[in-house]
Amino acid sequence: MDPIGTALVVDHDTARLEVLASLVSSLGFTPENYTDANAAREYLSTRPDLDVILCEMDMEGLTWDSAHRSLQEMDVQIPVILFSDEAQASRMMRALRFGASDFFVRPVDDVEALQRSLDRCVRQRQVRRELEQSRQRLQAANTELRGTIQVLEQDQQAGRQVQMRMLPATPLVLNDYVFSHTVIPSLYLSGDFTDYFTVGDHFVTFFMADVSGHGSSSAFATVLLKNLFARKRSDFLRQNDDTILSPLALLKRANKEVMDLEVGKFATMVVGVLDMKSNNLRYSVAGHLPQPVLVSGDGARYLRGEGSAVGIMDDASYEEHMIDLPDSFMLALFSDGILEILPPKNLIEKEKYFLNVFEETANSPEEMVTRLGLDQADTAPDDIAALFISKRN
């Protein structure tokens, strides 16, 4: 029969040691016998696989106070059973205070009790081994996870650099018009994106997109939208396709492409086409909040527009609006992340507060950015993107 486990048996009295070792052996354990406490301690440091220690309480050369500290320092989790020739309650309490799992008085008449105690020690030791193995596996998993996270963070950082390079030049000055933007991601990559570019001699097409969710998948959707607008601009130059000059047509194309992507993403958008020759604006809104804010000498107001977000339904419908712009104005588009950092609690109050900020501070985009605290923010609770278009006489 295979031994149940291995027991370290320690007693300076050779005769007692042999009797106890024989008893331990008869109960199915392999005894390792030592009469010297220091030698036993040295052996213990090399055998962490032991199941139980059986030791004389009045062992010569061994102070149990120091032994207890030594076992703690060695992080020894092996159960200890102490033996003594005297059956005193104070000795039993002292043994338990030292961390003993059990206490027996010689001669050991109740062998079954010793057997049960040894079995408990084996089970206890097995549980501790399993816990240690679980701890080691968890530690290995955590180490692997940290490595994986580090790689992902590096990928995210690289992706952010690519995404930032996709943004247009800021500021872009075209005669009396100035275009500028700010993007603050909540993670390394952003689901918010903006772009603007010239089309022909006197048009500028721009858009603000707020893709649902955060991180890589949302950022990939912004790449799709960037690519769509770039393709339609190319089609205008090469094929006389004027889709790039129609906000409504662009939203319909964006809706189809996001639907075809099939990644469970949708995006709210504002698309506009500025005619610098006539100083008018055509725009469409696709479920976007806050709505664009137009600031002029008459004050600040929202540019209203309705339409569902792109990527939700095949037959989505959109409106296209056209307005004449003041001789001097600032048009501001924000993603909904800006609403997260405004003081009011509900949406209606946030929209009122937001408009009041423009009423009070509308001299320049830079002042708006400072007033809203965007110049001090590296990250935000939600992605924040801002696009400013201004004209001065």
pLDDT tens track for 230-248: 999 999 999 989 999 999 9
Is 304's pLDDT higher than 60? yes
Per-residue confidence (pLDDT) for residue 44, from 0 to 100: 81
pLDDT band at 166 (very low <50, low <70, confident <90, very high): confident
Q: Are strands 177-184 and 299-302 parallel, antiparallel or unpaired?
A: unpaired
> pLDDT grade, residue 86 (50/70/90)?
confident
- Same domain for 282 and 181? yes
Do 174 and 313 sit in the same domain of this protein? yes
Q: Say whether both 120 and 173 belong to one domain.
A: no
Give the pLDDT band of residue 69 (cuts 50, 70, 90): low
Angle, alpha carbons 155-387-390 (nearest 5°): 150
pLDDT score of 100 more than 70: yes
Please give the residue that has the higher pLDDT: either 189 or 291: 291
CATH number, domain containing residue 35:
3.40.50.2300
Average pLDDT over residues 344-362: 84
> Is residue 41 in some structural domain?
yes
Q: What is the pLDDT of residue 288?
A: 93
Query: Does residue 15 form part of some domain?
Result: yes
Residue type, 146: R
Residue 47 within a domain: yes
**Cβ–Cβ < 8 Å for 290, 334:** yes
305 with 192, same domain: the answer is yes
> 98 lies in which domain range?
5-136
Do 228 and 221 contact (CB within 8 A), yes or no? Answer: no
Q: Does residue 233 form part of some domain?
A: yes
Same domain for 200 and 99? no
Alpha carbons 360 and 343: distance in angstroms, whole number: 16
Residue 197's CB: how many other CB atoms inside 10 A? Answer: 16
Residue 242 lies in a domain: yes
Q: Number of structural domains, the chain?
A: 2
In this structure, what are the phi and psi dihedrals at residue 310, rounded to the nearest 5 degrees? Answer: -80, 145
Do 271 and 312 fall into the same domain? yes
Q: What are the CA-CA distances from residue 17 to residues 30, 81, 112, 121, 209 (Å)?
A: 14, 14, 19, 20, 82
Same domain? 79 vs 128: yes
Whether residues 188 and 326 share a domain: the answer is yes
**Side by side, which strands form the sheet with 192-199?**
192-199, 203-211, 267-275, 280-286, 321-324
- Would you say residue 92 has pLDDT above 90? no
Task: For residues 360 and 211, state if they share a domain.
Answer: yes
One domain, residues 83 and 226: no
CATH number for position 191: 3.60.40.10
CA distance 246 to 265: 24
In a domain, 158, yes or no: no
Same domain, 206 and 298: yes
- Indicate whether 150 belongs to any domain: no
Task: Assess if residue 146 is contained within a domain.
Answer: no
